[in-house]
Structure 1
Amino acid sequence: MTEAIVQQTRRKGGIPRGLSATGPVLFSYGFRPFFLGGALCACLAMILWIMAMMGFIGIGGDYGASAWHGHEMLFGFGSAIVTGFLLTAVPNWTGRLPVSGPPLLVLFLLWFAGRLALVSTDLIGLLPAALVEAAFLPTILVVCVREIVAGRKWADLKVIAGLGALTVANICYHYETLAGSGPDYSQRLAIAAYTMMIVIVGGRILPSFTRNWLNKSGRTDFPVPYNGFDLTVILLSVPAFALWIVLPESSLTAGVTASAALLQGVRLWRWRGWTTWREPLVVVLHLSYALVPAGFAAISAAALGLMESTAVLHVLTVGTITSMMLAVMTRATRGHTGRELTASVTTCISYAAIFACALARPSTAFMPDHAPAIYAVAGILWLAAFGLYLIEYGPMLVARRKPSARTQ
């Protein structure tokens, strides 16, 4: 782990921190292999899916091409990004040493084995493939819970609850698929888990990053700090998602999710994201979070029969979840590799591509006659977003950390 940060330091409570100075840089910190692997998975899985839709190849074997595609977007690409974030954030929350070196390599290989297993179902069988793939998330859950408990950061367990729900959703996804039914419940549970993690973590990072940027700019019109209103919004969002998972077409679901959409919109407004328009690296977080209330509104519309359920899924997955992941990936990569925290032109283009993809993909529900063309456009935009990330940030992930960086 050839890192510039090699000294041992201590945080409050005398907890040591630091990174070893031996081994490959890629496995020195959790965001490095998992952001790189996740971005590569996003591109390769999309290319394979496009080729499968065009009839050039078969994918997924007995697992099914559609089920494979849905799984790899939610639990292949998605789980890698969440893991990279948590393995980097949890040490900051707890003050404990990060998972690094050989243990991090083992975790990455376990994730990679899951990707190989699901494209090899015809060779190793459906159940063995599912068992191999399902081993990763419980392992990450144990690692994160151990660190948070050891660091006595009990409040952070609510974030890990989302990881626990995601773990259950993955197991249920395999069960529903192998049982021959569509993984409808597990898909909704996974999407709800990801979005609730955004709701919880977003309430921590968006006001903080916005305040820091405004303070750096000499302004004092800061976001409203976390208070009882934020807690109310979070508590309402949980039953709203629970109703959507179990009763997606209920009028009760429509009412509760519409209320959640309104409150989430007010919460976002309190963070004053428009004040950061000069720095895309900050404002993109607000734009991504804006798709949280949009997602709840879409759920409500679908429950009333005004929108197709597949469109709702893509508003939340491509829009809410993926745009926030890309926003966090770019910021975290720049910050933790010693780069200046400001977005380049390439980064801004990648943001534009993923937002355009988020608008294009759900539109097939309204323009079914143009679905093939929309699929192609959405796929190209997706590949552009993550291809540009790999071009710009891939070298940063495998290189030594720069000595210093400007912060905001």
Structure 2
Amino acid sequence: MNERSLAQPTQLTRLMPLWRLAFRPLFLLGTLFSLLAMLVWGGFWHGAILLEPLGGMIWWHQHEMLFGFVIAIVSGFLLTAVQNWTGQPSIKGWPLLGLVMLWLAGRLLLAFPQALGNLDPLVIALVDLAFLPIVALIMARLVIRVKQWRNLIFLPVLTMLFVANALMHAGVLYGDGEWVRQGAYLAVLLISQLMVILGGRVIPFFTSLRLQRQKPQPIPMLEKLAIGSVVALVVILLLGVVGPEVPAVVTAVIALLAGGANLLRLARWEGWRATHEPLLWGLHASYGFVALGFLMYGLSHLEVLPATLAIHALTVGGMSTMILAMISRVSLGHTGRPIETLPGIGLALGLMLAAAVFRALIPALWPQVTHWMLSSSILLWCLAYATFLMLYTKPLLSARVDGKEG
């Protein structure tokens, strides 16, 4: 793709604002896909087989909520943010349309593998795997051009997410359930690492800006421990893939350190002062679930509770709630609208937090109600993201209200 295709408005972007920046199509289609995927998963949970996807429903649910939904949102955020960081035009117009079509092709081929006849599962895997490297290359090109080496930290994470995705596909191709589990857990820890890095940048900044208070100065040792402990968890999981596993007690200690350090980090951001502003308390509460998820992950390695509950604390309480809060804010700012909570978003964030409690916390205390709690969390998720789509579909499809490009 050449400079003109990235920098200049095209007929496509003039006629269809959806293709002006990556956040627009990827936020919109990513959230719509998550809603449909959760409805399908809810049907499966209650005995209705609505799909016969590649890898089966359980693999499909794990993979698509991570590499269909979450990666779409993360990519939309990063491909938009990199333009602000570097001052260089990010992907738009026809190249953006092509990238989104690649993402959509992966979703359709995985959901309907027989639609094109006996297509080789390896071909389907390669189509799905192609998305992340392209996102990484676009980001690297812009960051390297202006020598913002600090922002290159996202490239190793995107690369390792590609490895996690490849592991999940390899598990299907070779019938190895352990590769599937390792790939899924690696993806969860890597996305959690992104939340820790990005959350540490934006949550205290947004909070201090809204409250008109000075941002707390980071404590270097605490920052290193909060981020480094999560990196260590990723390394431990990778070691388990390529060699002997690290003793469970070591993983438990590091995970407990990660949870404690990030809880302390969160406490310093004064979230209790933002209880009147859902776009802020949603971010603080989601980060709290990230820290709680690490604590639960540590306890799972001590065999105190199932690891799946820790994973869902990270994914439902951490990722999905933070995504809802972030895209609600970013979608306003980047369409030229005032950054204020739209009616219903506070309720939607509350529903997502309740979904996390039902899916991850209550089953830890009362395992016998797991079936009903999972069903309830699916319903709450769907209501929360349906609310976002009702409020934000029109702004994401419309030109900026201030007349600017983007």
Give your verdict on TM over 0.5. Answer: yes
Q: Which amino acid aligns with 1:177?
A: V
Q: For the Cα contact (< 8 Å) 1:83–1:140, is it kept in 2?
A: yes
Q: What 5-or-longer segments of structure 1 have no aligned partner? A: 1-15
Question: How far apart, in 2, do the equivalents of 1:227 and 1:256 lie?
Answer: 18
- Please say which of residues 105-114 and 280-289 is displaced more in the overlay: 280-289
Q: Which amino acid aligns with 1:333?
A: S
**Are 1:148 and 2:147 matched, yes or no?**
no
- Residue 341 of structure 1: SS of its match in structure 2? coil
Question: How far apart, in 1, do the equivalents of 2:158 and 2:15 lie?
Answer: 29
1:221-370 maps to which residues of 2 (within 5 A)? 222-225=215-218, 227-243=220-236, 246=240, 247=245, 250-362=248-360, 363-370=362-369
What is residue 211 of structure 1 aligned with on the other side? Answer: 208
Show CA shifts across 1:300-337 (max 9, x none): 11011111011111111111111111111101001111
Q: Which amino acid aligns with 1:89?
A: A
Q: For the Cα contact (< 8 Å) 1:258–1:297, is it kept in 2?
A: yes
Displacement of 1:365 after TM fit?
4.9
Q: Which amino acid aligns with 1:382?
A: W
Q: Normalising by structure 1, what TM-score?
A: 0.89
Question: How far apart, in 2, do the equivalents of 1:120 and 1:24 lie?
Answer: 29
Q: For the Cα contact (< 8 Å) 1:337–1:397, is it kept in 2?
A: yes
**Segments of 4+ in structure 1 off by > 6 A?**
none
Q: For the Cα contact (< 8 Å) 1:265–1:293, is it kept in 2?
A: yes
Q: For the Cα contact (< 8 Å) 1:268–1:289, is it kept in 2?
A: yes
Question: How far apart, in 1, do the equivalents of 2:188 and 2:9 lie?
Answer: 34
Q: What 5-or-longer segments of structure 2 have no aligned partner? A: 1-5
- Residue 14 of structure 2: SS of its match in structure 1? coil
**Alpha carbons of structure 1 residues 232 and 306: separation in structure 2 relative to 1, 3 Å:** closer
What is residue 166 of structure 1 aligned with on the other side? Answer: 161
Question: How far apart, in 2, do the equivalents of 1:181 and 1:367 lie?
Answer: 31
Q: For the Cα contact (< 8 Å) 2:348–2:388, is it kept in 1?
A: yes
**Alpha carbons of structure 1 residues 62 and 97: separation in structure 2 relative to 1, 3 Å:** closer
Question: How far apart, in 1, do the equivalents of 2:286 and 2:9 lie?
Answer: 32
Displacement of 1:343 after TM fit?
1.1
**Are 1:184 and 2:147 matched, yes or no?**
no
- Please say which of residues 235-244 and 93-102 is displaced more in the overlay: 235-244
Q: How many residues align?
A: 387
Displacement of 1:160 after TM fit?
2.5
**Alpha carbons of structure 1 residues 213 and 18: separation in structure 2 relative to 1, 3 Å:** farther
Question: How far apart, in 2, do the equivalents of 1:114 and 1:383 lie?
Answer: 22
Q: For the Cα contact (< 8 Å) 2:189–2:230, is it kept in 1?
A: no
The structure 1 residue matched to 2:100, chosen from 105, 108, 123, is: 108
Displacement of 1:67 after TM fit?
0.2
What is residue 383 of structure 1 aligned with on the other side? Answer: 382
Show CA shifts across 1:6-44 (max 9, x none): xxxxxxxxxx97755623111111100000010111011
Q: Normalising by structure 2, what TM-score?
A: 0.90
C-alpha root-mean-square deviation of aligned residues, in Å?
Answer: 2.2
**Alpha carbons of structure 1 residues 396 and 73: separation in structure 2 relative to 1, 3 Å:** same
Displacement of 1:344 after TM fit?
2.5
Q: For the Cα contact (< 8 Å) 2:54–2:111, is it kept in 1?
A: no
- Residue 216 of structure 2: SS of its match in structure 1? coil
